Amino acid sequence: MPFTPPITLIRGGTDSLSAQIVAQLRSSILLGEMRSGESVPSSRALAHRLGVSRGSVVTAYEQLNGEGYLVSTQGAPTRVAVLLHGETLAAPARPMVEAGQQYPLDVLDLTPGYPSTRRLSGRAWTAAWRLAAARPIPQTEPPLQGTLALRTEIADHLRHARGVRCEAEDIVVTAGTSEALALVVLALREHLESGAGKDSARAPVVAVETPGYPAATRALQRLGAILVPISVEADGLPMSALHALTVPPQAVLVTPSHQYPLGGRLSVDARLRLLDWARRTDAWIIEDDYDSEFRHVGPPLPALASLDNDGRVVLVGSFSKILTPWLRLGYLVMPARAAVRRAVLAVRHDLPGPVSGVVQDAAAELLASGAVRRHIAATRRDYAHRRSLVLDALSGRPSTTLSALDGGLHAVLGLQNPARSTAAISELAARGIRVADLRDYSAGPGAADAPAGLVFGYAAVSDTALVRALDHIRAVTAVDAVPG
């Protein structure tokens, strides 16, 4: 009889026998005790050994089959699936000379922000590029706002996925979120200098969340914005702090649906108050809706942009999380206000859109064919499962808080003791596991008191790699694990 690890069943407990079998076989597979490609016992044999009905084992096998851990072929024994990438725990990470030249999957890189492309249909991907390359080769640059075909598809996606009422004419194609933010800062400066705004200060003042998205703050500062960091609370950006500012900023960058990185969510009431504040102070709101496609708990709240009746929310988003950052593709949605649109397009005229027409054509095709929608649906299920692995491994432990798991692709493991956090991150690096330091997400005068902990992504790695990494994270963050 093929090898199976010992299975311990508790009769009369809260979990059914088949659920217990599923849980124990799954973790054996993830831990490598049952190896890829090996056959598992027949349902009859295992049922006999465990003293349970054959139906319980069949049910368990069917579930594991559905989850992709087992493979059944007609007339052949059921086997452990050959899991792609990262089944083995890598030796200490190879130096990544160039990001993108190799897969983070191979090095147990849990740096947050990277998606899984495993579920993206290779056939749809290659077909989209083939179609885009088959067009007669245009001799001009792509249109200022992006191709009509892509903008139509993006607007369609946003209406369906986020309930944002927008049309192709509202969309500006960008090379991702940083490029979109650069465009918005320059547009804000254009707006202020053109006298349509309240003053003609050259450097726009932008309020940002802290902890926040370091890449966003770097892009804003690089374009000359002066940042006002506002410490977020459990629900995200606190309105009281915005109100308390003596000089209101000319814009605020906010992640209302899943505060980055802590995961807070602005209530509808807070959203309406934020819109009201912006109207009264004549500020722009930059809404970064970076991962709303992956909501794991409850429905997503409406985007700020969909509540905005005053035309002052610029929504930015990208395909980095729903497809891959390799594409360098994103968008912004211009609000109705003519002054905002004029400013954005004036900047675009001077700094032409950087996205290749071939990329735009291929992306439009991927969206139109339904490949993106199907990829998001499949990936959402994968991420939901990995999220449950994170919760299983790390929730409810002393002196730690686990957060940001209601949606998205990353988790935050807060640690009360900053020294312990630093030691844990170093120890993980020594073990070849890369995570981010929560304190690197904080800026401003309060940064010294910023919350400490680990930020890690669970999307770009395989289940197996994740489970092993979680084992290490668990070990190095145990209260007595490291000095601190």
Cβ neighbors of 180 (< 8 A, separation 6 or more) are 172, 174, 316, 318, 330, 331, 332
Instruction: Give the binding range for its own copies (CB under 8 A) out of 53-61, 227-235, 254-262, 350-358.
Output: 350-358
Q: Rounded CA gap, 401 and 325, in Å?
A: 29
Q: Where are the beta strands (DSSP E) in 309-409?
A: 313-318, 330-333, 400-403
Residue (61 or 319) nearer to its own copies, CB: 319
Q: Check binding of 280 to its own copies (CB under 8 A).
A: no
What letter does residue 325 receive in the DSSP assignment? G
Q: How many CB atoms lie within 10 A of CB 199?
A: 9
Cα separation, 287 vs 345, whole angstroms: 19
Question: Which CB sits closer to its own copies, 1 or 84?
Answer: 84
**355 is a site residue for its own copies (CB under 8 A):** yes
* Side-chain half-sphere CA neighbours of 151 within 13 A: 20
Terminal-residue alpha carbon distance, the chain:
49
Rounded to 5 degrees, what angle do the CA atoms 345, 348, 354 make?
A: 145
Residue pair 254/237 in contact by the 8 Å Cβ criterion? yes
Rule CB under 8 A: which of 133-172 touch its own copies? 133-134, 136-144, 147-148
The secondary element (H helix, E strand) that includes residue 230 is: strand 226-231
d(CA 292, CA 312): 20
82 binds its own copies (CB under 8 A): no
Number of residues that bind its own copies (CB under 8 A): 66
Q: Does 352 bind its own copies (CB under 8 A)?
A: yes
Binding its own copies (rule: CB under 8 A), the pick from 77, 354, 370, 446 is 354
Q: Which stretch binds its own copies (CB under 8 A): 17-25, 62-70, 270-278, 323-331?
A: 323-331
Residue type, 67: E
We find the least distance from the C-beta atom of residue 350 to its own copies, in angstroms, to be 4
The single residue among 221, 281, 416, 417 that binds its own copies, judged by CB under 8 A, is 221
Q: Which of 6, 11, 240, 349 binds its own copies (CB under 8 A)?
A: 349
Contacting its own copies within 223-262 (CB under 8 A): 224
| Binding of its own copies by 351 (CB under 8 A) | yes
- Binding stretches for its own copies (CB under 8 A): 98-101, 103-105, 114-117, 120, 122, 125-126, 128-130, 132-134, 136-144, 147-148, 175-176, 178-179, 182, 186, 202, 215, 218-219, 221-222, 224, 320, 324-329, 347, 349-359, 362, 460
